A and B are shown apart, each in its own frame.
Chain A
Amino acid sequence: MNHKGDFLSLLKHADTLHGDTKTTPNASDAKLNATLNTLQGTKNAMRETFQIPTQAHTLELTEATTVVGMRYNDGIIIAGDRRATAGTSVVHDRAEKVLPIDTHSVLAISGAPAMAYEIARVLKHSFQYFRRSQLQELSVEGKLRTLSRLIRDNLPMAMQGIGAVIPIFALYAPQTDETENSGKIYFYDALGAHFENVDFATTGSGSVWIRGVLRYLDRWGETRLEHMDQRTATITILRLLDTASEYDAATSGYNAKAEIFPTVKTITQLGVETLSDKYLKECYAEAT
């Protein structure tokens, strides 16, 4: 039994559940290594599969692109485009890059989806397991450190240029004063260091085109980002993604023909909510 609430530690000893006496300690270690390898990948297998003896950057892996989060008057609004690319090819136009982790937190991913989805999955299970085993929610600091650890474990893949994941982690701390906006946005680097961004954060290849716009809006806009209501914040974030898609080929805009909208979620005192396509369509009509 694992009384630390640490999910990765539980996986290490998973074989000893059910009183399985046949499992040796070595088999448990092997299981751990296998599990951790799903995060770190296997360099040699990738190289053999894709026949890249030396230059990893020549491999055209699927990548995800622009995500942006900002504070508004009720909490956090966070959005991501839907395009996944491999080199100059669009491989998917319905990718989900804004992933709910628990009732009050969201991970928005840029980089290699394969690694990012796995990190999100481990994160989700870790938070759930802590709550179920320890009978309380993991603290904000605990959540941040768990994600740091997963990103740091992914460093070998990032160093090879085939699996970097640079996420934005946004959450709402519901236990604080209800009248105060306790939404928080954190930005990570590839080594797992986290930094709190007070008003906004953006990452991915299209982020360079909108970071300055965000700064401008927040400093000199008619309404500061954190004072916007949900509709204004939604329109603003859709315009930002549209701007990114204009200059970055790896970011998609709103596809009117196929009715593919960006993913937009809010995180408030009430929890994570996904804004409906109908609502986004109305906002787009107002935004253009």
Chain B
Amino acid sequence: MRDLPYRWIEAIQDRRDYIEDQLRLGSPVVGLPYAQGSLLLTVTKGAQKIFEVHDRIALSAIGHPADIERLRMLVTDTASVQSFQSATEDVNLHRLTHYVLAHTFKQAFEAIVGEAYIIKMLLVEIGNGEAKTQFTHINYDGNVKVQHDSAVIGGTLEIENAMQEYLTAAQTNSERDLNTALKLALNTWAVGKRLSKRFEDAEENTKVTDEQIHEIIKTELKEGEIEVGILDTNLPADTKFRLLTQDEIHTARKTN
């Protein structure tokens, strides 16, 4: 098919449409820094979606569970081997995304006779000392976007833009405490979820009101539960990652 460029481009476009259609209803993920670290938040219906990759690196993704698992293992294996063969400090998010994940995503996406990964991934690395927190968003086609203030993944670009706009409008800074960050992240998630449901309901409006945010959280939490993974510099062990318990999440949501 590569000898006929038009057919190849068409095939790639078909593949893109297919993957985006599959991702459209995925539960969004929000990444936010707070004073002592960073968090990833999503709402799940059973399966774990936020994972520890290495001491200071965590990931979450939307997409097909089998693809998420395969790529999670790839990045975890690579980080573990690199850490053992040299040192923990030599494992960094830039290397893992640019030299391991991005080209794996791209290769699978463009090999039109093979299977593509149905996935969007968000990784976070907290800095060591002066280094900044870094969020890295990898699209199913291998495109990488690096951000420092916050990051989101949602079913479509439109959903992600709306979530980012909500975060920008919230006007809090990275010195926020964990409880504030968690509540802001949950509301941002709700904006994304509301917009992804809009496709089901065939609505045109992209504005999400506070009432709709509260309504969608209430509705979604009947079947799902909030999952929050934190990378916290205050944790005494080398590993800075842990998942918050449901009690901790409940308490954080109640705190003013």
Contacts and interface: CB of A to CB of B under 8 A. Distances in A.
Nearest to A133: B76
B52 A11 contact: no
B76 A132 contact: yes
A14 to B, nearest CB: 4
A271 B54 CA distance: 20
Interface in A1-48: 1-3, 7, 10-11, 14, 17-19
Interface in B38-92: 48, 51-54, 70, 73-74, 76-78, 80-81, 83-85
B80 A132 contact: yes
A129 B80 CA distance: 7
B99 interface: yes
A155 B117 CA distance: 46
B80 A1 contact: no
Contact of A128 (B80, B99, B100): B80
Nearest to B235: A103
Nearest to A14: B81
A125 interface: yes
Contacts of B100: 17-18
Nearest to A2: B77
B52 A132 contact: yes
Contact of B74 (A11, A17, A103, A125): A17
B67 to A, nearest CB: 13
B95 to A, nearest CB: 11
Contacts of B22: none
Nearest to A129: B80
A129 B72 CA distance: 13
A1 B73 contact: yes
B129 interface: no
A258 interface: no
B66 to A, nearest CB: 12
Contacts of A271: 236-237
B48 A10 contact: no
A39 to B, nearest CB: 12
A3 B83 CA distance: 19
Contacts of B237: 102-103, 271
Interface string B223-246: 000000000000011010000000
A285 interface: no
B73 A125 contact: no
Given A11-B84, A18-B99, A135-B48, A128 B239 contact: yes
Contacts, number: 53
Contacts of A135: 48, 51
B70 A125 contact: no
Contacts of B80: 7, 10, 125, 128-129, 132-133
Interface in A50-84: none
B174 interface: no
A2 B69 CA distance: 12
B179 interface: no
Contacts of A2: 73, 77
Nearest to A274: B236
Contacts of A131: 52
Given A10-B80, A11-B81, A103-B237, A132 B74 contact: no
B104 interface: yes
A17 B73 contact: no
Contacts of B73: 1-3, 133
Interface string A125-159: 10011011101000000000000000000000000
B142 to A, nearest CB: 13
B46 to A, nearest CB: 13
Interface string B142-159: 000000000000000000
Contacts of A132: 51-54, 76, 80
A18 B70 CA distance: 13
Given A18-B99, A125-B84, A271-B236, A1 B51 contact: no
A3 B54 CA distance: 17
A1 B99 CA distance: 17
Interface string B100-112: 1000100100000
A190 B56 CA distance: 36
20 contacts: A1-B74, A1-B77, A3-B73, A10-B80, A10-B81, A11-B81, A11-B84, A14-B85, A17-B74, A18-B78, A19-B104, A19-B107, A103-B239, A122-B84, A128-B80, A132-B51, A132-B53, A132-B54, A132-B76, A271-B236
Interface of A: 1-3, 7, 10-11, 14, 17-19, 102-103, 121-122, 125, 128-129, 131-133, 135, 271
Given A132-B76, A271-B237, 11 more contacts: A10-B77, A10-B80, A14-B81, A17-B81, A18-B78, A18-B100, A19-B104, A19-B107, A102-B237, A132-B54, A133-B77
Closest 4 A/B residue pairs (Cβ): A1-B73, A14-B81, A129-B80, A125-B84
